Chain A
Amino acid sequence: MLMAQSRMTQVSNSSTFTENEEQAQLRFQTELEFVQCLANPNYLNFLAQRGYFKETNFTNYLKYLLYWKEPKYAKYLKYPQSLHFLELLQYEQFRKELANQQCAKFIDDQQLLHWQHYQRKRMKLLSDQADHANKSKDSKPS
């Protein structure tokens, strides 16, 4: 794409980085997607196994991505768990651990369980409420 090539020339020519609105929009969108992809433990495992986490560039980029924690940016996130993972990824120990397949699997399982937890809690609340309503109905005629 022309945008990427123009960005390349900008970067290689000068040390100041300017971009027009279209490029900014694209960057916004791609960074938004990427940050949310970090919520996928399998993807993180993939990145770890291919050694991306060892590159200083990548770790700096992860640090840079922390801006998504600000409310004005965070409101665009569809998967807020990604912010938690982003925070964890700032730690080297976590990045190292992610190369392990079992670690990623464990995280995946925990995520699924947590995801279902809300559902179960709400179902329980609703069922409790229904029981309570039934009991009050039963007690009223008597």
Chain B
Amino acid sequence: MGTPKGQQRQGAPEPSELIQLLVDKDKEIKDCLKTAGKQAEVQKTIDELKHEVDRRDLDIKILQKNLKEAENVLQTAIFQAKQKLDSIKQASEKKISSEELIKFAHRISASNAVEAPPTWAPGDHRRPYPTDYDMRCGWLAKMSDLPTNTPTQVAQGSYGEPMASNRNQAIPGQDMAVLPPPQQHLSVTWQNPPDTGSTTAPLHPHHNLIDFKGHNKENEDVELMSSDSSSSSSSDE
């Protein structure tokens, strides 16, 4: 069955050649199909591996997150521990015995120095600070040689001379090393001086260092002022 010889064109390929070409092509196609099949398998492996890699990646990410969280927690813990250590150190540096604390608490509370007495009413002369009367009863007034008025006088306004001798000595810049006096064991701040009537000599030295007013004169001024001035009468609400 081929075309009759007369109808064949010249130069046209022979059927056997065509068939050979066909067979070759078929072979090629079969080979290609085989390769494709192999490639498909390889691709499958690739996909599986990729999948595996993705899983591992996810695991790594999770681990990373956990690590970060752990780091944060530890950092916080260390920071707080450091703070605690600092406060422990601070506390141990400034130790105060509980007995002293209680003594101090008693001292400031018992005399109503920090809390008003429950029965306090306007017109009561008690105050959260040393009053005129208290000051006159104390050492300071005695040292200043203030003439003692009647102890019941409660008008404010007449005060004694501040401790001038101490004042004039404590001048930084000079060579004096005036240190705070060593603390004494006192139980009461305002004590009645042992000898009330014996000191008549003026107490305050006239220092060469400072131009200091004569003490007695000042006393007189104070007395005058206290009697004349409409002094700050404690208005109680």
A: residues with CB less than 8 A from B are 1, 4-5, 7-8, 11-12, 15-17, 19, 24-34, 36-37, 39-43, 45-47, 52, 57-58, 60-61, 63-64, 67, 71-82, 101, 104-105, 108-109, 111-112, 114-116, 118-119, 122-123
A29 touches B116 (CB 8 A): no
Interface membership of B65, Cβ < 8 A: no
**Given A30-B140, A33-B138, A8–B165 Cβ distance below 8 Å?**
yes
B169 touches A1 (CB 8 A): no
CB distance from A77 to the nearest CB of B (A): 7
B129 touches A79 (CB 8 A): yes
Complex-state Cα separation, A114 to B127, whole angstroms: 11
B181 touches A33 (CB 8 A): no
* Closest partner residue, chain B, to A41 (CB atom): B129
- Apart from A24-B182, A78-B111, A119-B115: 5 A-B pairs, beta carbons within 8 A: A19-B181, A31-B163, A57-B170, A79-B130, A118-B115
A7 touches B186 (CB 8 A): no
CB distance from B112 to the nearest CB of A (A): 8
Complex-state Cα separation, A4 to B208, whole angstroms: 15
Chain B residue contacts of A60, Cβ below 8 A: 170-172
Complex-state Cα separation, A15 to B236, whole angstroms: 49
A71 touches B96 (CB 8 A): yes
Complex-state Cα separation, A29 to B175, whole angstroms: 25
Chain A residue contacts of B210, Cβ below 8 A: 57
Chain A residue contacts of B206, Cβ below 8 A: 8
Which of A19, A78, A109 is packed against the most chain B CB atoms within 10 Å?
A78
* Closest partner residue, chain B, to A40 (CB atom): B129
B170 touches A46 (CB 8 A): no
A47 touches B162 (CB 8 A): yes
A34 touches B234 (CB 8 A): no
The 4 closest A-B pairs by CB, nearest first: A8-B205, A39-B129, A64-B170, A28-B181
B183 touches A73 (CB 8 A): yes
> Which of B117, B180, B181, B204 contacts A25 (CB under 8 A)?
B181
Chain A residue contacts of B178, Cβ below 8 A: 17, 64
Which of A5, A25, A45, A79 is packed against the most chain B CB atoms within 10 Å?
A79
CB distance from A23 to the nearest CB of B (A): 8
Chain B residue contacts of A122, Cβ below 8 A: 115
A64 touches B172 (CB 8 A): yes
Interface membership of B62, Cβ < 8 A: no
CB distance from B188 to the nearest CB of A (A): 9
Complex-state Cα separation, A26 to B189, whole angstroms: 12
Q: Mark B97-120, 1 if CB is under 8 A from A, else 0.
A: 000100110011001011111101
Complex-state Cα separation, A67 to B183, whole angstroms: 11
**Given A25-B184, A39-B130, A76-B183, A52–B207 Cβ distance below 8 Å?**
no
**Given A15-B175, A26-B139, A80-B114, A4–B186 Cβ distance below 8 Å?**
no
Chain B residue contacts of A1, Cβ below 8 A: 143, 199, 201, 203
B170 touches A40 (CB 8 A): no
**Given A32-B189, A79-B113, A105-B232, A12–B162 Cβ distance below 8 Å?**
no
Chain A residue contacts of B128, Cβ below 8 A: 39, 79, 81, 111-112, 114-115
Complex-state Cα separation, A83 to B129, whole angstroms: 12
> Which of A28, A30, A42, A47 contacts B157 (CB under 8 A)?
A42
A4 touches B165 (CB 8 A): yes
Q: Mark B53-75, 1 if CB is under 8 A from A, else 0.
A: 00000000000000000000000
